[in-house]
Amino acid sequence: METNTKGRLIEAGLKLFGLHGMEATSTRSLAQEAGVNLAAIPYHFGGKQGLYHAVLEHIVSMKTQELGPCLERAHRACEAPGTGRAGLVLALRELIRELVVSMLESQESRLCARIMLQEQIAPTAGFNILHEKFLLRVHGTLRCLLGRLLRLPADSLELQLHTLSIMGQMFIFRVGMHSLLALVGGDRLPEEHVQAIVHVCTRQAEALIEGLAAGPSGGNA
């Protein structure tokens, strides 16, 4: 029963924190959404902030399970000295596809993305849970692939910024979801639109790589 109550509260927190943010979500609304007594929140989590941190840990766990295999494959491809340009580009394409689909397809994933974006815009005390345990891993894997493709030092500011720009071009479709839906019509993205976004993000990343590799600071992998 205790595990069930905690799980229901985390599920309620994911929904309400995703929709309204941590500050604007009351403990009463969380308890009502979960169908539990108000006292269950301080009993299990020490308060609303403790529940919010548990939701962040849940997001990390879920995203690690969902994206971990792809991140691991990309990391292995990047670390292997024998991986050529074609293999690196293939790993990049797969990673972009998995990240876009993860952000856009399911309602739970969309709520996770909203919480992650809220933490980027207005970080709370829980920011490092997402940053250290998940976002740095995504950034590091993308940075490794780009570093190999562009022959840029792993610690260079230029490489760090290019990596963030590629991550940002994917996140913008989550940030601008309502504008996107208004443009394409409907209240949800069909599979064909999700795949079209994957295609656009991949093409833009490859165009960036090709353009930079042709410049004075680039090179061939």
Model pTM score = 0.86
Q: What's the first-to-final CA gap in the chain, in angstroms?
A: 55
In a domain, residue 102? The reply is: yes
Q: For position 90, which CATH number holds? A: 1.10.357.10
Segment 169-209, tens digit of pLDDT: 998 888 888 898 898 887 888 889 999 999 999 999 999 99
- The amino acid at residue 190 is P
User: Structural domain tally of the chain?
Assistant: 1
In a domain, residue 159? The reply is: yes
In a domain, residue 107? The reply is: yes
Residue 91 to residues 96, 186, 196, Cα–Cα distance (Å): 9, 33, 19
In a domain, residue 165? The reply is: yes
Segment 9-24, tens digit of pLDDT: 999 999 999 999 999 9
* CA gap 69, 62 in Å, rounded: 12
In a domain, residue 219? The reply is: no
In a domain, residue 175? The reply is: yes
In a domain, residue 221? The reply is: no
In a domain, residue 220? The reply is: no
- Highest mean pLDDT (candidates 39-43, 112-116, 182-186): 39-43
Give the contacts of 35 (CB within 8 A, at least 6 positions apart).
Answer: 8
For residue 100, give both structure tokens: 């876009």
Query: Whole domain around residue 114: which residue ranges?
Result: 2-213
| pLDDT at residue 220 is higher than 50 | no
Q: Are 213 and 140 in contact (CB under 8 A)?
A: no
Residue 93 to residues 16, 96, 187, 192, 208, Cα–Cα distance (Å): 33, 5, 28, 17, 13
